[in-house]
Amino acid sequence: MGKYINVLGGIVLILAALGMLAFNPLGIPFLQALITLIEGGIPPMLGMLGLILLFIGLEEMKSESVAAAAPPAPVAPPVPEVKEPVYTISHAKKRKR
């Protein structure tokens, strides 16, 4: 579900950035620097953020479909059991002199 939200959010942010550039909704006479900052800085940032979210969502969709088409991982062979030795080694006792 998150991948669809990323794609939808990316498309909405790209449309918002294009709308801000095309329709110029900030026709209020602010200081010239503030108008330059808002009209020139925020729409490209929204557009880049939208593109990033769009590509992340599309990559998640692609990786999910590739994982579903991949064959299952091979099962590892069972580990052989370690057998106890048949004989035991005993140490010789030292003589006291």
Instruction: Check pLDDT > 80 for residue 10.
Output: yes
Instruction: Assign 3-class secondary structure to 35-53.
Output: HHHHHHHHHHHHHHHHHHH
pLDDT (average), residues 40-55: 87
Residue with tokens 């048949």: 86
Residue with tokens 């969502």: 57
Q: How confident is the model at residue 76 (pLDDT cuts 50, 70, 90)?
A: confident
pTM above 0.75, yes or no: no
Average pLDDT of the chain is 76
